[in-house]
Amino acid sequence: MAVNVEKKLISILKNSSFSMQLDESTIEDNNALLMANVNYFEENTLRGKMLLAINPITDARRLSTFNTVKSYFTRNNIPMNNIVAYASDGAQSMINDVNLQLQGANKTLIRSQSILSLFIDQLELLHCNLLKREFHQFPKLSSIKDDVIPEDIDRFSSHLNELKLDMEKRFEDILKLKVYDWMKNPSTTNTEEADTTYQKKLLEIRYDEESKHKFESSGYENL
């Protein structure tokens, strides 16, 4: 990463909440490489960037990753408390998935609401499973489950809950959007049940065979 780009990213992370995904791989000569990607909000846009790609500190295996990240954060004055979610073991970050799904010229508010609602429900599911010490969805924790103490569970579950609350607040307008049946499938909706403001237009859509075919084959996002 170019020095000026890294400095700008570090400056953002010092004052922002973010999620982090860690991946460990082996390069030539069996040397380990630790890569960290972060996701954060900038001007109400979810962004993702690589933060570091370095050789991890050599120590007890399960401490190596933590101490490498902690050393980097300490050196650059990034508060560890700014991390609101963490993924590792090569698992694709859920936030990365959401970011990619929300992008695209044809994305609608209806589709965005579905994506965000699913993500928030997944966070709640993870939160509940973590409290029950169900680690199937947490490979890193599962590998050291016998060493996980109640304080760890409280801290991790708190991060998940904070992320959920942050998403609910940040996207409140979209999540509370009232979606009517005629918005999702205007060609088959009972026109009489729709708002009178839209009844005439809905009739036109019902008898527009070209638009109906396009909707059935591509969905409302491409109308």
pLDDT tens profile 128-148: 988 898 887 777 677 777 878
Q: Are 38 and 13 in contact (CB under 8 A)?
A: yes
Place of tokens 């019902």: 206
C-alpha distances in Å from residue 56, one per residue of 53, 68, 86: 9, 5, 17
d(CA 158, CA 175): 22
pLDDT tens profile 12-61: 999 988 888 877 766 656 667 778 888 888 877 778 888 988 877 665 44
Give me the chain's average pLDDT, please.
78
pLDDT tens profile 179-210: 877 677 766 767 776 777 777 877 787 777 77
